[in-house]
């Protein structure tokens, strides 16, 4: 089966990108909703304005009609008294003009159509002259006279700009028309008088002729108008006239502008914060992914380790174990994590020691160089481990616990023990063989002279017993002396065989020899858990045999180690100091062992003197002979801290 390659971190991040559609959609909906709201509010506003416009213009139209009708009535009430004299007519006209009738001129025509009175005086040719029947005034006059009711004329221009129209009101007396009262309206003035100021503020009000021409306007100074006006018929006067109102462009209310602006700003802020949030989240996702990969990588590394890893918090509670650790102790991570001391893998026989080291570590006093410990596997077997503890530092640089690495050294320890036992066996066999050889050679070599001495002495004794002159005894005694000398010679030779005769002297650094001797003893030192404290002066150089000096140091170190068998493990320490003073190198080896009792002190350097069951008693004897052979001195004293201090003094090579 074909498997697809694992997704990369960028791919994994992009998988979540679709989630961003939601906020985007929400944002688009939000902006759309706001725009719709604004549009609807604008529309409602417009509709309301239009409704107001319609009702306003209808009201105006009604007002004008009322106005014109009232004027008709007033004109119809003109009586003979008013029409007789010019003064009476003028006063009547003034009264009519006085109440904002919108009339600009009043004319009184007789039934024949001649102008009898006019105020102001008219020069209109259509009325005063013979302008023919086609003139609107004339037509209207006839119509009014014949109908007997008010008739409005067509609108006609007056000078260049203005337009006006007339109302012809027939006046009857006792059933017959006596004249016609004409009221002249100038459209511009009519609008000026009848349109109230508040309406003029809002709209441009115009009167439009049937051809669409504007005949008069009531307007403020020229200001912008919107296109959509409203028009109603202007009847009376009729004749296709219409009232047209166009609203001025009213500034939008400040609150609505503020609302729109703040909504736009809000939308932009939302968009910006969305963008910032997205960038932040994407970065976070990427970091998380990298972290996950890093974690997986580290976990794979930790899982592949043979070294057990275990982390504890500052209270000693286990917070992490790796698979190698679980394998070593036989418990699963689930069973170990969260446990507090005593742990299930602590060996019962070493409980005190284990707890002690555990407490020391938590107190920050654990051995930095690591330590060996015995633990118990779940199956009951005891394992040897080498542990290194290091502080566990968190992301803020604070110590949050301890991380311990653990190596299983059970196999190594067993192998070392086997080698050591083998070496011990070999050594003791070699010693026995050497001793045996030495003993047989001594016996063999000394047997002859001793037998000879014995027989010479027996002979001499016999001679003396028979009162033989002393001179006769002398040759036998001389021979006995000679044999004794030979025996001494044999002993010297054996002695010279025992001590390395061909010692080659050379420049020897005592520090290096000590290092070499320590290296030889390393396994013993480690096994016995001994700490070595060194203070070495590397200038200490002597003229001597490196092998012999190393042997002497080896013997002293071995004695020091062996003397501490009964010492408590944490007290096991050897302090070695090498100093130079007054031409001598002084080397002290101080142990914290059993010490030397006064009763045995005198025989310590005697060959074959030993207090150890397996000892040979030759170590110190050889040491002293080596040191003295180098013109030095070997001594010992009690260590004030317990144990013994052995001191070697050797003359240094003059600088």
Question: Is 593 a residue that touches ligand ADP (CB under 6 A)?
Answer: yes
Strand spans (E) along 343-460: 371-376, 382-393, 399-408
Task: Examine residue 629 and tell whether it contacts ligand ADP (CB under 6 A).
Answer: no
Regarding 616 and contact with ligand ADP (CB under 6 A), the answer is yes
71 binds ligand ADP (CB under 6 A): no
The yes or no reply on residue 591 touching ligand ADP (CB under 6 A) is yes
Integer Rg of the chain from CA: 69
Q: How far is the CB of 590 from ligand ADP (least distance, A)?
A: 9
Q: Quick check: 54 and 243 in contact, CB under 8 A?
A: no
User: Smaller CB distance to ligand ADP: residue 132 or 613?
Assistant: 613
Residue 530 as a binder of ligand ADP (CB under 6 A): the answer is no
Alpha helix stretches (DSSP H) within 330-409? 333-336, 351-362
424/395 Cα distance (integer angstroms): 53
612 binds ligand ADP (CB under 6 A): yes
User: By CB under 6 A, is residue 596 in contact with ligand ADP?
Assistant: yes
Q: Tell me whether residue 555 or residue 575 sits nearer to ligand ADP (CB atom).
A: 555
Q: Which of 183, 203, 256 is nearest to 52 (CA)?
A: 203
Q: Is 230 in the site for ligand ADP (CB under 6 A)?
A: no
Q: How many residues bind ligand ADP (CB under 6 A)?
A: 21
282 and 13 Cβ atoms separated by less than 8 Å: yes
* For ligand ADP, the closer CB: 179 or 593: 593
Nearer to ligand ADP, 406 or 645 (CB): 645
- Contact (CB, 8 A) for 637 and 627: no
Question: Stretches 133-141, 427-435, 490-498, 593-601: which one binds ligand ADP (CB under 6 A)?
Answer: 593-601
CB count within 10 Å of CB 544 equals 26
Alpha carbons within 13 angstroms on the beta-carbon side of residue 391 total: 10
Does 617 contact ligand ADP by CB under 6 A? yes
91 in contact with ligand ADP (CB under 6 A)? no
> Near ligand ADP by CB under 6 A, which window of 40-48, 98-106, 529-537, 616-624?
616-624
The least distance separating ligand ADP from the CB of residue 611, rounded to whole angstroms, comes to: 3
The reply to whether 200 sits near ligand ADP by the rule CB under 6 A is no
Which residue of 239, 604, 639, 647 would you call a contact of ligand ADP, by CB under 6 A?
604
- Which residue in this structure is represented by tokens 């640089």? 397
Q: Does 619 bind ligand ADP (CB under 6 A)?
A: yes
Residue closer to ligand ADP, measured from CB, 510 or 616? 616
Q: Is 615 in the site for ligand ADP (CB under 6 A)?
A: yes
Query: In the complex with ligand ADP, which residue's Cβ is closer, 518 or 604?
Result: 604
* 639 touches ligand ADP by CB under 6 A: no
Shortest approach of ligand ADP to residue 627 CB, angstroms? 13
Q: Does 594 bind ligand ADP (CB under 6 A)?
A: yes
Q: How far is CA 592 from CA 241, 565, 600, 613, in A?
A: 135, 10, 18, 21
Nearer to ligand ADP, 607 or 651 (CB): 607
Compare residues 487 and 574 and give the one whose CB is closer to ligand ADP.
574
Site string for ligand ADP, 544-583 (x = CB under 6 A): -----------x---xx--x--------------------
Q: Is 642 in the site for ligand ADP (CB under 6 A)?
A: no
The count of C-alpha atoms lying within 13 angstroms of the C-alpha of 559, restricted to the half-sphere facing its C-beta, is 27
Environment class of residue 550 by beta-carbon count within 10 Å: exposed (0-12), middle (13-18) or buried (19+)?
buried
Give the 3-state DSSP-derived string for 471-523, with helices as H, strands as E and coil as C: HHHHHHHHHHHHHHHHHHHHHHHHHHHHCCCCCCCEEEEHHHHHHHHHHHHHH
Per residue, the 3-state secondary structure of 98-132, as one string, reads HCCCCEEEEEEEECCCCEEEEECCCCCHHHHCCCC
Q: By CB under 6 A, is residue 644 in contact with ligand ADP?
A: yes
Whether 497 and 490 have beta carbons less than 8 Å apart is answered as no
Please tell me what DSSP assigns to residue 391. Answer: E
Quote the least distance from Cβ 643 to ligand ADP, whole Å: 7
If one counts every other C-beta atom within 10 angstroms of the C-beta of residue 18, the result is 8
Residues that bind ligand ADP (CB under 6 A): 555, 559-560, 563, 591, 593-594, 596, 604, 609-612, 615-621, 644
């Amino acid at each position: 089966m074909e498997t697809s390659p694992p997704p990369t971190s960028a791919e994994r991040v992009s998988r979540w990108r679709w989630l961003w559609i939601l906020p985007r959609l929400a944002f688009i909906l939000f902006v759309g909703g706001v725009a719709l709201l604004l549009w609807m509010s604008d529309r409602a506003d417009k509709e309301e304005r239009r409704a107001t416009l319609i009702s306003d213009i209808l009201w105006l139209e009604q007002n004008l009609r009322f106005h014109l009708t009232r004027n008709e009535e007033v004109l119809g009430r003109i009586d003979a008294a008013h029409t007789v004299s010019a003064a009476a007519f003028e006063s009547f006209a003034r009264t009519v003009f006085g109440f904002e009738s919108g009339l600009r001129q009043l004319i009184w025509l007789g039934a024949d159509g001649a102008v009898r009175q006019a105020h102001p005086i008219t020069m209109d040719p259509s009325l005063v002259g013979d302008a023919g029947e086609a003139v609107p005034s004339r037509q209207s006059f006839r119509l009014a006279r014949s109908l007997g009711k008010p008739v409005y004329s067509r609108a006609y221009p007056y000078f260049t700009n203005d337009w006006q129209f007339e109302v012809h009101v027939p006046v009857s007396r006792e059933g017959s028309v006596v004249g016609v009262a004409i009221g002249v309206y100038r459209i511009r003035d009519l609008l000026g008088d009848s349109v109230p100021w508040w309406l003029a503020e809002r709209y441009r009000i115009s009167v439009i002729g049937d051809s669409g021409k504007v005949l008069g306007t009531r307007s403020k100074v020229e200001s912008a108008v919107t296109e959509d006006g409203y028009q109603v018929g202007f009847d009376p006067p009729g004749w296709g006239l219409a009232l047209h109102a166009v609203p001025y462009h009213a500034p939008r209310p400040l609150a609505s502008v503020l609302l729109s602006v703040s909504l736009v700003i809000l939308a932009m802020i939302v968009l910006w914060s969305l963008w910032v949030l997205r960038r932040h989240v994407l970065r976070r996702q990427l970091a998380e992914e990298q972290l996950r990969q890093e974690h997986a990588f580290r976990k794979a590394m930790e899982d592949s380790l043979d070294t057990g890893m275990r982390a504890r918090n500052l209270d000693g509670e286990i917070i992490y174990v790796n698979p190698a650790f679980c394998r070593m102790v036989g418990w699963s991570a689930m069973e170990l994590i969260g446990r507090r001391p005593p742990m299930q893998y602590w060996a019962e026989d070493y409980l005190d020691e284990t707890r002690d080291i555990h407490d020391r570590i938590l107190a920050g006093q654990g051995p930095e160089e690591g330590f060996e410990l015995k633990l118990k596997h779940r199956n009951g077997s005891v394992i040897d481990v080498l542990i290194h503890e290091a502080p566990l530092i968190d992301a803020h640089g604070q110590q949050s616990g301890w991380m311990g690495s653990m190596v299983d050294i059970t196999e190594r320890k067993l192998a070392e023990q086997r080698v050591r036992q083998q070496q011990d066996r070999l050594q003791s066999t070699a010693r026995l063989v050497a001793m045996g050889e030495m003993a047989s050679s001594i016996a063999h070599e000394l047997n002859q002279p001793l037998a000879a001495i014995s027989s010479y002495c027996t002979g001499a004794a016999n001679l003396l017993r028979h009162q033989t002159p002393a001179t006769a005894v002398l040759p036998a005694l001389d021979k006995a002396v000679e044999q004794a000398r030979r025996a001494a010679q044999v002993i010297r030779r054996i002695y010279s065989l025992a001590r390395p005769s061909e010692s080659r002297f050379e420049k020897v650094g005592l520090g290096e020899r000590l290092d070499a001797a320590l290296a030889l003893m390393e396994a013993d030192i480690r096994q016995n858990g001994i700490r070595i404290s060194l203070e070495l002066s590397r200038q200490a150089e002597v003229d001597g045999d490196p092998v012999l000096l190393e042997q002497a140091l080896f013997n002293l170190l071995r004695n020091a180690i062996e003397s501490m068998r009964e010492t408590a493990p944490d007290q096991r320490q050897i302090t070695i100091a090498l100093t130079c003073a007054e031409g001598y190198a002084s080397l002290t080896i101080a142990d914290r062992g059993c010490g030397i009792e006064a009763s045995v002190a005198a025989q310590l350097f005697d060959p074959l003197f030993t207090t150890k069951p397996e000892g040979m008693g030759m170590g110190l004897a050889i040491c002293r002979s080596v040191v003295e052979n180098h013109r030095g001195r070997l001594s010992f004293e009690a260590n004030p801290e317990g144990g013994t201090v052995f001191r070697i003094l050797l003359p240094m090579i003059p600088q």
